[in-house]
Amino acid sequence: MSEPAIHLALANQKRSYGPGIWALVLILLATLLTYHGLQALMPSTLWWQGLWNPDLNDARQVLLHYSFAPRLLVSLMVGAALGLAGTLFQQVLRNPLAEPVTLGVAGGANLGLSVATIWAPGLLVHGLEGVTLVGAGLATLALFGFAWSKTLSPLRFILAGMVISLYCNALNSLLVLFNHDYLIDLLLWQAGSLNQSGWDGVTYLAPRLAVAAIIAGLLARPLAALSLEDQNAASLGVSLRTTRTLSLLVAVALSAFVTSAVGIIGFVGLAAPAIARLSGARTLRQRLIWAPLMGAALLCLVDQCARELSRFVGEVPAGILTAVFSVPLLLWLLKRQRSGGIVSSSRSTLRQLNNPGRLIGIATVLLLVLAIPAIGLGLGMHGWQWSNPIDLSGVAQWRLPRVLGSLCAGAMLAVAGFLVQRMTGNPMASPEVLGASSGAALGVMILFLLVPHPQALMVPAASAGAMITLGLLLWFGWRSAFSPERLLLTGVCLTTLLGALGTLMMASGDPRMTLLMSWMTGSTYHVDGPAATTALVVAGAMLIVSLLLSRPLDLLTLGNGSASALGLPLRLSHLAILLTAAVLTATATLVVGPLSFVGLIAPHIARRLGIRKAAPNILLSAIIGALIMLLADWLGRNIAYPWPISAGLLAAFIGCPYFLWLMHRERT
Amino acid sequence: MPLTRRHLLQQLALGSLAMASGIASATATAKTALPALAASSDPLRRIIAINWAAAETLLTLGVSPLAISDGGYYSRRMPTAALPPQVLDVGPYWEPNLELIKELQPQLILSDQMPPSIERALKGIAPTEVVDIYPAPGSVWTSATDFMTRLAARLELQPQAAAWIAAGNARFEELRGQLAQRPQPPVCVAVLNQDGRHATVYGKRSMIQDVLDRLGLVNAWQGPSSTMGIALIGIERLAENPDAHLLYTEIPTTSARLQSLRQVNALWENLPAVRRGNTLELSKFFPYGGAAATLNLAEWIAAYLNGRGENEHV
């Protein structure tokens, strides 16, 4: 055998053993932990009896039979199901960020559960499955309804999915806030716990997973053709639409089954296919086999860790640990990946406005005019009342800072959203993607965990959290030369990690967490004079900075290569844009909590109104963001008087449907 | 309604004093009878209680608050004196409506821990006291009764508060004495989740731990708990101490859900406490109540254990 041939053979060998070794490591660790758990439960002589024919007077055997064993099996099945669902989603949508959670399917299922719990607990007598399936089904229908177009564009799908996910989560948070006696339960469900109290979960999941796996196997060949360009695949005689639709249906059904059985387990659907792919499974057939295996091993390992941990620190839902374990792994794998077009912006042909100045002028006047009744008009004990909007001894002392704070926060988030979207060339990006808002929220949560009376330290803690996250992001970004794709993925990873830890703390049952919850959904209640003034100063300054960045922002739309050829210092401009967006996000987060709705939606509305150039786009985004938040804050104070509804939630109610409608209209 | 001795004692402990006091003085149980608390002519009666333990303490002292936070939920969770219908709702405790509070022109606000800006705003409306019963540095009963004493001083109801607290202390001693007559099992108090797989249990610094300590009982939950004295666990961990007796509650509106789960919930059915029938369902239970709620929990636990003790003798 010649030397090159040996090299080739070695390379092939390395390639084909890659996923096997990874899976083996995961499985070995999971087995060790499982064995340790069993050993701690009872001596091995009783295992067989406990498993098949337990003596019900022996508490240990009851635990093995009704809790330990079904939980182990469920973790394996859920992991496999999520790995399979993720692979299918990613293959069909050609986006490694696609998974049940980012597509809104899991969010819909979760919302179904909340609605049933609060208004129709009778429905739950038949089990959680029915209502979660209906919720997931409706979310999927909405996804198809809004994103369906002639070509079933993958990007549209993800975008619509993320917006639907936001909408479902907003609705869910609202339900939780108004029914906070259910808070812990609903949050725990959202956190994804694999605890079992019998064999129901196993007997529910097993047949469904088997059917889905068989269909996926049958779809493997036509699906592989999807990797080719649409036209090539069509010329091979593959029915694109049928294959895609069927695969999506299987993936959606799998996500719904998982959510109805154990709640929302994020990240396995993202991590398992990524690990499989990056550790060497190249072809679709390989990935369809290895991703579910990786998923099963990963989730089993994580859940065994969760079980061990829960002996020391109280219940730890597996969904949260999944994120904690997967993120460093994924970041490490990401580092090794050759850069390639993970996401690319589809430059759709939108109408372009010739005179954006007039539009901006009208919007500004509208904002100023609406601000007056927003302060002056409100419900009181005896119905609607008009109060002097500038008399600071009356209600204006509370309303003025709130209105000012919401305006500025909306504007800041919108500009930050625009910057991130332009820089990454990704319309799905939002300030939330930067992780800065999650970081701020986490800082506050850790403070609540450590200090009995934390209220006075909230602002410093939030700043510290945002700055640490930002520092990490900058570090990762610097290492990858601020490649937009990596930055986006890194940001998503950090956000997932922080969000997961946050949910764990919220689910801990501490009554003070309700306060955090209201802040996290974007309440403007706590905005006082100094906070509003700070917001105003920062918003003004950063708006100017953003406008100064408009030339690099315009050049970046040509693509990194062209921008660089035109003399743009890429790394420097990326750093400047990132820093600006981060400061905007952190300030806005401190004022109104880590809501991302406005940051995602306002720049899109501006773009879809026909603005292309960066400078007018920044201005119009800011005004639209401010308008949305102004309206949301006013509605929030009056809709359920004397109860408040967080402005962030209402912004989602106003913004999401409008955004989806715009998207829907644009396809025709 | 038949007036048994136990029922009467319960009524007393629950703080429905105005109703029961006339009869109580006529019975043989005069030593546990608590003094009647008629509202005095003192003008300091326009009080807004954002904190529930404070609202309960007010009601225990016979003063109806002007408004409280989240009134509907208060009625569903608080086991002690019922909320009079005229009490207004000022919104949730985490965001009480400042505009409405100002309109109501209170003389005193009893607030939860609030962020500094909100505390300033409340203090701008009326004198505001931040209720700091939880997290209790030592004993919940001590911090709750200290709060009652302080509040009574402001409302000029010191004699009533002192008498109530003295009676409460005596009652604790009495219950402890009764329970000490025979060996008692460890007790676990839990709030069950509607998923049928999780429960909240209570450890150090919680009201439950303090009540168990005062009654000379052992808390079956010896695991870790948070700053607020709570821990969220999977229900399989309720099996760790097979001898424990389980006193549980569920959020009232979710009972249908729980009932249905129990029928198929093999693990719950086979928990040692459930298999042996060592359980009691508490109708209403709120772990962050005031002195009356603390005493009330003690009454329930003692009544349950004493009842079991009598049955075992038969």
Facing residues of B200 across strands?
B191, B232
- A contact test, residue of B117, B132, B278 with most A CBs within 10 A: B117
- B280: in domain: yes
Q: Which among A322, A246, A277, A309 has a CA at the least distance from the CA of A79?
A: A322
pLDDT in tens, A33-49: 999 988 888 888 888 88
- For an interface test with A, give the residue of B140, B193, B265, B286 to mutate (most A CBs within 10 A): B193
Please name which of A210, A239, A227, A198 lies closest in space to residue A286, comparing C-alpha atoms.
A227
| Amino acid identity for residue B105 in this structure | Q
Specify the 3-state DSSP secondary structure of A315.
coil
ipTM of the complex: 0.76
Is the Cβ pair B92, A180 closer than 8 Å?
yes
* Pairwise CB contact (< 8 Å): B100 & A449: no
Q: What percent of chain A has pLDDT over 70?
A: 76
Exposed/middle/buried for residue A214 (C-beta within 10 Å: 0-12, 13-18, 19+): exposed
Query: CB distance B200–A182 less than 8 Å?
Result: no
pLDDT tens digits, one per residue of A284-338: 888 999 999 999 998 999 899 888 888 777 677 888 787 777 667 666 666 655 4
**For residue A668, is pLDDT > 60?**
no
Q: Do B265 and A642 touch (CB under 8 A)?
A: no
Residue of higher predicted confidence among A17 and A392: A392
Residue found by looking up tokens 């201005």 in the block: A619
Is residue B161 assigned to a domain?
no
Domain limits for position B87: 47-146
- Confidence (pLDDT) at A184: 58
Location of structure tokens 């959290």: A465
- Do B227 and B140 fall within a single domain? no
Strands of B18-115 (E only): list them.
47-49, 67-68, 88-89, 108-111
How sure is the predictor about A14, in pLDDT bands with cuts at 50, 70 and 90? very low
Among A residues 59-78, those touching chain B with beta carbons less than 8 Å apart:
59, 62-63, 66-68
* Cβ-Cβ contacts under 8 Å, B288 against chain A: 511
Please check whether residue A393 touches B, CB under 8 A: no
Number of domains in chain B: 2
Cα of A575 vs its chain's centroid, Å: 24
Q: Which domain-ending residue is among B125, B146, B167?
A: B146
DSSP B276: T
| pLDDT tens digit sequence for A511-530 | 667 667 777 778 888 888 88
CB contact A514 to B (< 8 Å):
yes
In this structure, are B273 and B206 located in the same domain? yes
With contacts defined as CB-CB under 8 Å, which chain B residues touch A314? 223-226, 231-233
Residue B170 vs residues A240, B175, B295: alpha-carbon distances, Å: 81, 9, 11
User: CB-based contacts of A293: which residues, under 8 Å, 6+ apart?
Assistant: A19, A23, A80, A83, A276
- Is some CB atom of chain B closer than 8 A to the CB atom of A203? no
Q: What is the pLDDT, as a whole number, of residue A334? A: 61
Q: What is the pLDDT of residue B162?
A: 97
On whether any CB of chain A is under 8 Å from the CB of B75, the answer is: no
The answer to whether the Cβ–Cβ distance between A458 and B253 falls below 8 Å is no
What residue type is A47 in one-letter code? W
On chain B, the residues whose CB falls within 8 A of the CB of A310 are 233-234, 237
Structural contact between residues A420 and A438, judged by C-beta atoms closer than 8 angstroms: no
Which chain A residues contact residue B115 at CB under 8 A?
Answer: 455-456, 458, 526
Q: Are both B138 and B194 inside the same structural domain?
A: no
B191 and B96, same structural domain?
Answer: no
Distance between the two ends of chain A, CA-based, in angstroms?
61
Pick B266's closest partner by Cβ from A189, A198, A523.
Answer: A198
Half-sphere exposure of residue B254, counting CA atoms within 13 Å on the CB side? 26
**Same-domain status, B141 and B203:** no
Would you call B99 and A122 a contact, using CB atoms and an 8 Å cutoff?
no
Find the CATH number of the domain harbouring B302.
Answer: 3.40.50.1980
Q: By CA distance, what is B88's nearest residue in A? A: A642
Residues B193 and B308 in one domain: yes
Give the span between the Cα atoms of A314 and A306, in whole angstroms.
10
Using the Cβ of A381 and the Cβ atoms of chain B, whether some distance falls under 8 Å is answered with: yes
DSSP per position, A84-101? HHHHHHHHHHT-TT-STT
DSSP per residue over B69-81, as a string? SSHHHHHHH--SS
- Interchain CB distance below 8 Å, A188 and B193: yes
Other CB atoms within 10 Å distance of the CB of residue B307: 12
**B251 and B132 within one domain:** no
Chain B residue closest to A510 (CA)?
B228
Which A residues 641-660 touch B at CB under 8 Å? 641-644
> Which residues 106-135 of B are in CB contact (within 8 Å) with A?
113-121, 132, 135
Domain end point (choices B94, B126, B146): B146
B36 is a domain residue:
no
Q: Which residue of B has its CA nearest to A41?
A: B240
From chain B, the residues in CB contact with A184 under 8 A are 193, 200, 232
Question: Which of A173, A195, A527, A591 to probe by mutation at the B interface, max B CB count within 10 Å?
Answer: A195
Q: How many CB pairs under 8 A join A and B?
A: 184
In this prediction, residue A563 carries a pLDDT of: 80
> A392 in contact with B at a CB cutoff of 8 Å?
no
Chain B residues touching residue A40 (CB < 8 angstroms): none
Classify residue B135: in a domain, yes or no.
yes
Q: What pLDDT is attached to residue B180?
A: 94
Tell me how close the Cα of A47 comes to any Cα of chain B, in angstroms. Answer: 17
Q: Are residues B189 and B139 in the same domain?
A: no
Chain-centre distance for alpha carbon A574:
24
- B92 CB neighbours in chain A (<8 A) are 177, 180, 514, 518, 643-644
Q: Are residues B67 and B133 in the same domain?
A: yes
Q: Does residue B102 lie within any of the structural domains?
A: yes
- Two tokens at B49? 């209680």
Q: Among the three residues B117, B146, B175, which one is the final residue of a domain in this structure? A: B146
pLDDT in tens, B289-302: 999 999 999 999 99
Q: Does residue B275 belong to any structural domain of this protein? A: yes
Specify whether B191 is located in the same domain as B297: yes
Of A121, A189, A315, the CB nearest to B253: A121
pLDDT(A189) > 70: no
Residue B246's pLDDT is 94
Pairwise CA distance, residues A35 & A38, whole Å: 5
Pair B285, B192 in one domain: yes
Interchain proximity A512–B113, CB inside 8 Å: yes
Closest by CA to B306, choosing from B181, B172, B188, is B181
DSSP assignments along A438-463, one per residue: HHHHHHHHHHHHH-SS-GGGHHHHHH
pLDDT, residue A310, reads 81
Of A496, A417, A477, A478, the residue nearest A191 (C-alpha): A496
Residue B38 resides in a domain: no
CB contacts, 8 Å: B235 with chain A: 195, 197
How many other CB atoms are there within 10 angstroms of residue A123's CB atom? Answer: 18
Q: Is residue B142 part of a domain?
A: yes
Query: Which of A59, A181, A453 lies at the smallest CB-CB distance from B239?
Result: A59
> So what's the pLDDT on residue A208?
93
Q: Is A523 exposed, middle or buried (0-12, 13-18, 19+ CB in 10 A)?
A: buried
A188 with B195: CB under 8 angstroms?
A: yes
Rg of chain A, C-alpha, whole Å: 25
Residues of A in contact with B242 (CB under 8 A): 59
pLDDT of residue B23: 33
Specify whether B301 is located in the same domain as B196.
yes
Q: Which residues of chain B have pLDDT under 50?
A: 1-40, 255-256, 258-259, 262-263, 313-314
Listed range (A171-185, A590-604, B110-124, B137-151) with the worst mean pLDDT: A171-185
pLDDT at A150: 57
Packed helices A69-93 and A240-262: angle between N→C axes, nearest 10 degrees: 150
Average pLDDT, stretch A426-434?
68
In Å, how far from its chain's centre is CA A329? 18
Dihedral of CA atoms A77, A81, A83, A85 in degrees, nearest 10, equals: 180
Asked if residue A278 has pLDDT above 70, the reply is yes
Q: Does A512 touch chain B (CB under 8 A)?
A: yes
CB contact under 8 A, A528 and B117: yes
Put simply, the chain B residues between 7 and 26 with a CB less than 8 A from any chain A CB are none
Mark yes or no for CB contact B77/A181 under 8 Å. yes
B202 in Cβ contact with B287 (< 8 Å): yes
Partner-chain residue, chosen from A189, A198, A450, that has the shortest CB–CB distance to B195:
A189
* β-pair type (B245-249, B187-192): parallel
Predicted pLDDT of residue B10: 44
Q: Is B199 helix (H, G, I), strand (E, B) or coil?
A: strand
Residues 578-607 of A with CB under 8 A from B: none
Task: Report pLDDT digits (tens) over A47-83.
Answer: 888 888 888 888 888 888 888 999 999 999 999 999 9
Give residue A94's region: left, alpha or beta (phi > 0; psi -120 to 50). left
Closest CA to A567 of A577, A578, A556, A575: A556
Q: What is the pLDDT of residue A494?
A: 66
Which residues in chain A are contacts of B119 at CB distance < 8 A? 455
Are residues B108 and B46 in contact, defined by beta-carbon separation less than 8 angstroms? yes
Q: Which residues from A are below 8 Å from B243, CB to CB?
A: none
